[in-house]
Amino acid sequence: MGKLVEVAKVSDIPPGEARAFEVEGEKIGIFNVDGQFYAVNNVCTHSGGPLHEGEVVDGRVVCPWHQAEFDLKSGEVECPPAVEGVKSYKVEVAGDTLKVEV
């Protein structure tokens, strides 16, 4: 089991938006999809694009650079040009606090 690290307040990431954080040396994008929070490694495995800047469609984030798609729950790649998924992280909400397990 990993370590839970406080990253942000729930109010810092409104529904439909995402933010990037560095947590314990890892670049993580946190996404608020209709009040449900997801966290994945923020660096696209294809060409290093910033995933938190991508559009979220049907539970997937689309990389803004070359449109690779990653499942927000599992981190699995859903659409090329990426062939490798990204790490996903457990997110815990405690009141107005968001914690990520790293």
pLDDT at 65: 97
Kindly report whether the peptide bond that precedes residue 81 is cis, defined as omega within 30 degrees of 0: yes
54-65 pLDDT tens trace: 999 999 999 999
The pair of three-digit structure tokens given for residue 25, joined into one six-digit string: 């040396």
Give residue 16's pLDDT.
Answer: 95
Contact 66, 49 (CB under 8 A): yes
71-95 per-position pLDDT tens digit? 999 999 999 999 999 999 999 999 9
Domain boundaries, the chain: 4-101
| DSSP string across 40-77 | EESB-TTT--BGGGSEEETTEEEPTTT--EEETTT--E
**What is the spatial distance between Cα 92 and Cα 12, in angstroms, rounded to a whole number?**
15
Yes or no: is domain 4-101 CATH 3.40.1010.20? no
